[in-house]
């Protein structure tokens, strides 16, 4: 079996462990979902003590590595992951603003982490008020030339979370799961979601985005 498919199947098993896919109305009586809620409760209890220390140390390293950039510790995201983002660039063009950000997400549901780069296009003018679109990619061969910085970020994660493995971008977004919704969703959100939506996303959920590799 191709390694990507094998990893996707493993993720599918973990998603089924935590989420009652196909029977979403069972969520609050589903043992895995109750376990997920406990993970979230433990996460927020730890935040009050600024724990785990390894995460806060990692964020400091990211701040040092990306000195001069805005770095956001999204520890309080309503999702079972630790997340930090870096505002990479901002540009204004006729009729739109473009914001580029890098997002590191360390999952609390699997021993894996993800790195994605998001280019958000926000359209200007009264007829486009509030209209924006995101393009999500791995960050490799990006026009901002991020390859070396991303490799350095991987080394930082390995230093503080050695048990976590980097997740191939194709696996995160290629394979879709139907019949349920991620942790912070609801019955109104029943539909098709990616592995990233269930195991890694603290900020992309409910967002319209296109995946570019």
Domain that includes residue 171, residue range: 3-211
Q: In the structure encoding, which two tokens stand for residue 50, read together? A: 């600024």
Q: Are 19 and 32 in contact (CB under 8 A)?
A: yes
Please tell me the pTM assigned to this model: 0.89
pLDDT in tens, the chain (213 residues): 667 889 999 999 999 999 888 777 777 788 999 999 999 999 999 999 999 999 999 999 999 999 999 999 998 888 999 999 999 998 887 778 889 999 999 999 999 999 999 998 887 766 666 667 889 999 998 989 999 999 999 999 999 999 999 998 889 998 888 766 666 666 566 667 889 999 998 777 666 778 887
Say how far apart CA 197 and CA 183 lie, in whole Å.
Answer: 9
Length of the chain: 213
| DSSP E strand stretches across 25-160 | 70-73, 81-93, 96-107, 112-123, 132-137
Q: For the chain, what is the domain count?
A: 1
CA distances from 116 to 34, 86, 125 (A): 29, 11, 29
């Amino acid at each position: 079996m191709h390694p990507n498919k094998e990893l996707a199947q493993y993720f599918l098993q973990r998603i089924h462990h935590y989420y009652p896919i196909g029977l979403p109305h069972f969520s609050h009586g589903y043992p895995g979902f109750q376990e997920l809620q406990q993970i979230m409760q433990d996460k927020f209890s730890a935040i009050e003590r600024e724990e785990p220390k390894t995460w806060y140390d990692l964020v400091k390293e990211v701040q040092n590595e990306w000195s001069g950039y805005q770095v956001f510790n999204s520890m309080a995201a309503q999702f079972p992951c630790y997340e930090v983002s870096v505002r990479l660039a901002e540009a204004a063009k006729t009729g739109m603003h473009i914001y580029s950000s890098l997002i590191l997400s360390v999952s609390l549901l699997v021993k894996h982490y993800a790195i994605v780069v998001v280019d958000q296009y926000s359209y200007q003018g009264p007829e486009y008020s509030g209209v924006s679109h995101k393009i999500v990619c791995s960050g490799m061969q990006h026009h901002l030339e991020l390859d070396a910085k991303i490799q350095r970020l991987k080394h930082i994660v390995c230093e503080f979370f050695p048990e976590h493995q980097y997740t191939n971008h194709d696996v995160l977004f290629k394979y879709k799961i139907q019949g349920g919704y991620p942790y912070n969703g609801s019955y109104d959100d029943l539909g098709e979601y990616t592995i990233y939506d269930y195991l890694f996303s603290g900020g992309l959920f409910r967002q319209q985005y296109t995946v570019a590799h």
